[in-house]
Amino acid sequence: MITNNRPTKQRSCLYDIGWIRQKGEWLNELKNFAGHSWIDVSKLETHIREIIDRGKMYYDDNGNEVTKSDAKVMRIETNVKVEPAMLKKNPPKVNLEHDESCYVVIVFKRNSMDEWQGVDFDYGRSVKVKRGFYRVGYARIHTEDGKDVSWVSELCRLTGKSSINKVAIDELIESQMSRSYRLKDGSPANKIVAHTRVFRTGECFKGTKEEIFARFVRGRGNSWINLSFVRENDLAVEDSIQLPYENNLFRFAYFPSNWEEQLKDMALPEKWTLKGETPNGLLQHYLKNIYIRAEDERRVAKSDDNDAAAFDTGLVDSSYRPIYAYFVANEKEEAQPMKLKGFCFRGEDLGKEMFSRLGDKLDCCGVNWFAEHPERMHLDPDAKIYPDYTHCLIERAFRLPVELWESVLSGNGCEKLKEELVGIYQRKNAGKDVSEMEECWVGELKSHSAYDAVYSRISDELDSAIKLALCKVRYDYTTAVPIYYPTKHCFSFVLPLSFLRNQEIQCALVVERRGKGYQGHTILTSKMAYSNARLLKQPNEAWLRGEVED
C-alpha cells in the first residue's frame, strides 16, 4: 500500500494584504462572479503579484488614484475576463457598453481599525498593459533561501535604498528592448539566437559605483525567466543554469520550407507523421534531437573559418549510405549564423563541395549510441521499478486513460471531479488546448477530501500495470523500447502500460537504470513514446507502430 502525505494547499498572496471576507471560498466566488467553471490559479496569482509590485491599486472613495496612506479602497485588476451573460445578470456600475474587455477586479476596503478587509468584486475595463521587466518575462527573483520576491524589493536590497523610482526604471528598460539580446557568454546577439536578455538599470550596488545589470535567461517555449541582478563582468550564464535545447538546430541554421520533403525523398521510406499531428512533425523532432546529441558529442563538423558545417543525420538511403546535413554561412543580418544548403552524400553532387570544405572532419560525424554500453539496449525484467507515483499519476494525470480515472473517482464523493475530467478529455480529443484546465483540475484533486483514497487506489493500479509490463518483457525483450533524452543526456526505456485488466496499450512509463533497479520517471502517451524512441531507431514494436499515419 502506498502512503502519501496530503499536499498543503498553496496560500494565496491576497492573505498577505488583509482579512479576506470569503476566507477560503474567495476563488469560487470569483469564478461565479466571472461566469467561469475553472480559472488558471497559477497565472492568476502571478498576475496579482505583478499588480501588487507596481503599487498602482490605491483609490479614495470617489475612485481617484491616491497614495497607499490616503487610500480607502484597494482595487486589484485580474486577468479573469467576465462572460457576457454575467454582465447582464450583474450590471456593472460603470458604462462598459460596446467594450468587450471587461475583467474582474478584486476589491479591499479599509475598515475603522485602519485594516484592509475583503474580498469583494467589481468590474474593470481592461488589464493594464505590461511595461518594463513585466513586459519581458517573469519578473520575480528566486533567492538563495528559496523565496520568491519582487524585483523592486531585491533592487532595494542591493542598492541599500528604502525605495526606487519604478517608473524611471520601466522607461529605461523600455528604451533597451530591441538591443537587449545576448549570447550565453554575454556578447551581443540577435533575437533569434540569443540565450539571454540584458538591461542596464541605472542603479549601483551598495557601497560601490558598479552599475547593476538585469539579466533574463531564455526558458522553454522562448519565454524569458530567471531574472537576476548581476555586475557587468558577470553577464555570462553560469554552468548551473540549464538552457533549453529544443530549438538549438533552428537557432543554429535557417531551413527552407521544403527541407522535410527533400530529406524524405533521399532516405529509406518511413512514416514521419504521428496520427492527428502536424505533417512531418516527427521528422522535425528527430532532426532537432539528433543535432543536440551531435553537438554535445562534438560531432558537428565545422570548417576552420566557420563558413561551412555538417552533421550526420543518422538516416540512410536504399544503399545504406549516410545522409549529411550541409550548411554554409548565412549572409543575412539579424538571422541564424548558418543556413541549410542541402542534404547530401559524401563525395557526390553537393557532397563534393561539403567534402572539399570539411575533409577529414566528417569522419567524426556519426553518432554511436550503444558501443560503450550495450546494456542500454535491453531492460532487465527481474529488476525492481520504483515509480515517482505523484508525478506519474497526479501531475501527468491527463496522459492516463480516461477509463482509469472514471473507475478510480467513482464512489469516492468525486462525481464533480469526474464530470470535469470527462469534459476536459472531450475538449482535448477535439484538438483544443486544455493545458490550463488540466492544471486547475489537478489542483482541485489535490485539495479534495478524498485525495488520499484516490491516490492509494490509482497507485495500486500502476503497480499492477508495471507487473504486467515486466511479464511481457520476459516473454519478448523488445517490448521495452530504449529511448534517449538529449536535454538530460540519459538513456531510458519506455514500458507499455495497460490498466483495469485491459490488454490494450494505453500509455507508457519511462524508466531509467539506477544501480540494481529502475527509477520510474514519468508517463508518456504512446505518440510521445514513439517520438522519443525514433531518435535511436525506427520503432518496429507492435505497440508503437500504430501511432504513425500511413
Query: In this predicted model, what pLDDT tens digit does every residue of 465-514 receive, in sequence order?
Result: 999 999 999 998 889 999 888 777 788 999 999 998 877 889 999 999 99
pLDDT confidence of 261, banded at 50, 70, 90?
A: very high
pTM for this predicted structure: 0.70
Q: Which of 215, 204, 212, 41 is nearest to 141 (CA)?
A: 215
pLDDT score for 120: 85
Q: What is the rounded distance in angstroms from the CA atom of residue 302 to the CA atom of residue 362? A: 9
Of 19-33, 190-204, 285-299, the one with minimum mean pLDDT is 19-33
Cell of 432: 483544443
pLDDT score for 2: 44
- In the chain, the N- to C-terminal Cα span, in Å, equals 44
Provide, rounded to the nearest whole percent, the portion of the chain with pLDDT above 70.
91
pLDDT score for 42: 77
> Buried b vs exposed e over 437-469: b needs ≥16 C-beta within 10 Å?
bbbbbebbbbebeebeebbebbbebbeebbebb
Q: Which of 354, 330, 357, 355 is nearest to 342 (CA)?
A: 354
pLDDT score for 368: 67
pLDDT confidence of 372, banded at 50, 70, 90?
A: low
Q: What is the rounded distance in angstroms from the CA atom of residue 325 to the CA atom of residue 347? A: 13
Higher-scoring residue by pLDDT: 329, 413:
329
pLDDT score for 21: 65
Higher-scoring residue by pLDDT: 46, 416:
416
Of 199-213, 403-417, 482-496, the one with minimum mean pLDDT is 482-496
For residues 432-455, average pLDDT:
88
Cα-Cα-Cα-Cα dihedral sign, residues 98, 103, 104, 110 = negative
For residues 270-282, average pLDDT:
87
SS3 category, 18 = coil
Q: What is the rounded distance in angstroms from the CA atom of residue 512 to the CA atom of residue 520? A: 7
Of 87-96, 153-162, 255-264, 355-364, the one with minimum mean pLDDT is 87-96
pLDDT score for 490: 82
Q: What is the rounded distance in angstroms from the CA atom of residue 441 to the CA atom of residue 40? A: 9
Q: How far is CA 283 from CA 220, 263, 314, 539, 548, in A?
A: 20, 9, 12, 14, 12
Query: In this predicted model, what pLDDT tens digit does every residue of 105-142 receive, in sequence order?
Result: 888 888 877 788 878 888 876 555 678 998 898 888 88
pLDDT confidence of 401, banded at 50, 70, 90?
A: very high
pLDDT confidence of 213, banded at 50, 70, 90?
A: very high
Q: What is the rounded distance in angstroms from the CA atom of residue 106 to the CA atom of residue 481? A: 52
Q: What is the rounded distance in angstroms from the CA atom of residue 511 to the CA atom of residue 494? A: 6
For residues 502-529, average pLDDT:
91
pLDDT score for 100: 52
For residues 286-306, average pLDDT:
89
pLDDT score for 433: 79
Cell of 14: 491576497
For residues 271-279, average pLDDT:
86
Query: In this predicted model, what pLDDT tens digit does every residue of 63-99 receive, in sequence order?
Result: 777 878 788 888 888 888 888 777 766 665 544 443 4
Q: How far is CA 60 from CA 63, 68, 77, 103, in A?
A: 5, 10, 16, 21
pLDDT score for 429: 85
pLDDT confidence of 373, banded at 50, 70, 90?
A: low
pLDDT confidence of 397, banded at 50, 70, 90?
A: very high
pLDDT score for 128: 59
For residues 238-254, average pLDDT:
86
Q: What is the rounded distance in angstroms from the CA atom of residue 106 to the CA atom of residue 39? A: 15
Q: Is the peptide bond before 136 cis (omega within 30 degrees of 0)?
A: no
> Buried b vs exposed e over 168-194: b needs ≥16 C-beta within 10 Å?
ebbebbeeeeeebbbbbebeebeeebb
pLDDT score for 11: 65
- Mean pLDDT in the chain? 85
Cα-Cα-Cα-Cα dihedral sign, residues 111, 114, 119, 123 = positive
For residues 41-45, average pLDDT:
80
Query: Strand pairing partners for 124?
Result: 103
Q: What is the rounded distance in angstroms from the CA atom of residue 411 to the CA atom of residue 72? A: 49
